[in-house]
Amino acid sequence: MTIERLGIVGGGQMGAGIGEVAAKAGIDVVIVEAAAEIAEKSQGRISASLEKAVSREKISRADADATLARLQFSTEPGELADRQFVIEAIVENLALKEDLFAKLDSIVTDPDAILASNTSSIPIIKLAAQTNRPDKVIGTHFFNPVPVMALLELVQSLKTSEETVERARSLGEQLGKQMILSKDRAGFIVNYLLVPYIVNAIKMFEEGFASAEDIDNGMKLGANHPMGPLELADFIGLDTMLFVQEVLYAEFADPFYAAPPLLRRMVDAGLLGRKTGEGFYRY
Ligand code: CAA
Ligand code: NAD
């Protein structure tokens, strides 16, 4: 059951975090990015995170070096051919993910290899339907920042086999995560609850009901959340927030899930939160 060769597509916030945790657990990891300079950025992101872990005495220098040595970066999806388990962590866009799953199905040679998605919201069956192995497609939804957050939310589609769920659970154990199992509906368990909460904070701010600081302090000081909802939106990325809200709206056809115009305008303006240096706050 043990996974020795993991592939990751997309080395952004999430792909880099998953890669770091997997390599730290002794797994050989290949991360495929869209372009060489982004792959370099991904490597830099992991090095910086490991430096922080060394400085906080969470990991030894030798283990950090060994972790980096287990990571390979590439722009060539063909490098994933020998992987036993591939996790897709590209942008939250259905058409791009569907296209990628069709390609991965022909690239990954072992027919028993699992193809997983880190999607925040998209029903897994939509991705599984692009492959000839829908029983081996599953949602592996990690949380940001992956080296710190304990949870791995597994998502079983109507076609995902029990064996695939067990193999994904076993990978989660290798990575030291705690698992929950969700059925296949937009938003799964956590984002069905979390994303409307954050979006309601955006609506409150947009209406001028309260300042960003007061909304965030309300939830930090009054509900013991480590970040307020607007800080958290900036941390997740406003592009991802908007994509997820659109997937929820498409699934439930309920105006409650309609994205507020302010969120759309901020994404149009490239104000995506921490990743671009400005969102509800400046970084
Ligand atoms: N490896 C190991 N440990 C690490 C690490 C690494 N690479 N990087 C940091 N850590 C450790 C630190 O050493 C520290 O541990 P101690 O407290 O024992 O010293 C701990 O992690 C926290 O790190 P920091 O002190 O640097 O950071 P912080 O205290 O300012 O907290 C935070 C930062 C963890 C992000 C915190 O603000 C937080 O929990 N925010 C909320 C995050 C959240 O809700 N995430 C979920 C987002 S939703 C999602 O992910 C789903 C989706 O689909 C959108
Ligand atoms: P991100 O924008 O930081 O990273 C996405 C990366 O994918 C980029 O580096 C981009 O260059 C790369 N990419 C895009 N198309 C590609 C392709 N065809 N091949 C290879 N690489 C490609 O986004 P993120 O925050 O890491 O989110 C990635 C996924 O994880 C999304 O599905 C998102 O919903 C999900 N997710 C995000 C969070 C979060 O808090 N940000 C949490 C859990 C899950």
C-alpha angle with apex 280: 263 to 203, nearest 5 degrees?
45
DSSP 114: E
Q: Which atom of ligand 2 is nearest to the CA of 41?
A: 9
Which fold is adopted by the domain 195-275? N-(1-d-carboxylethyl)-l-norvaline Dehydrogenase; domain 2 (1.10.1040)
Shortest-distance Cα residue to atom 8 of ligand 2: 12
Domain ranges within the chain, ordered by starting residue: 5-183, 195-275
- How far is the C-alpha of 219 from the C-alpha of 144, rounded, in Å? 19
CATH class of 5-183: alpha beta
Residues 6+ apart with CB under 8 A from 150: 177, 178
pLDDT of residue 195: 97
Q: Which atom of ligand 1 is nearest to the CA of 240?
A: 54
Do the domains spanning 5-183 and 195-275 agree at the CATH topology level? no
**Catalytic residue list:** 120, 141, 153, 191
- How far is the C-alpha of 73 from the C-alpha of 53, rounded, in Å? 21
- How far is the C-alpha of 100 from the C-alpha of 154, rounded, in Å? 20
Compute the distance from residue 224 Cα to the ligand 1 centre, in Å: 15
- In terms of Cβ atoms closer than 10 Å to its own Cβ (0-12, 13-18, 19+), residue 220 is middle
DSSP 120: S
Per-residue pLDDT of the chain (283 residues; tens, 9 = 90+): 799 999 999 999 999 999 999 999 999 999 999 999 999 999 999 999 999 999 999 999 999 999 999 999 999 999 999 999 999 999 999 999 999 999 999 999 999 999 999 999 999 999 999 999 999 999 999 999 999 999 999 999 999 999 999 999 999 999 999 999 999 999 999 999 999 999 999 999 999 999 999 999 999 999 999 999 999 999 999 999 999 999 999 999 999 999 999 999 999 999 999 999 999 999 9
Question: Per the confidence metrics, is the pTM higher than 0.85?
Answer: yes
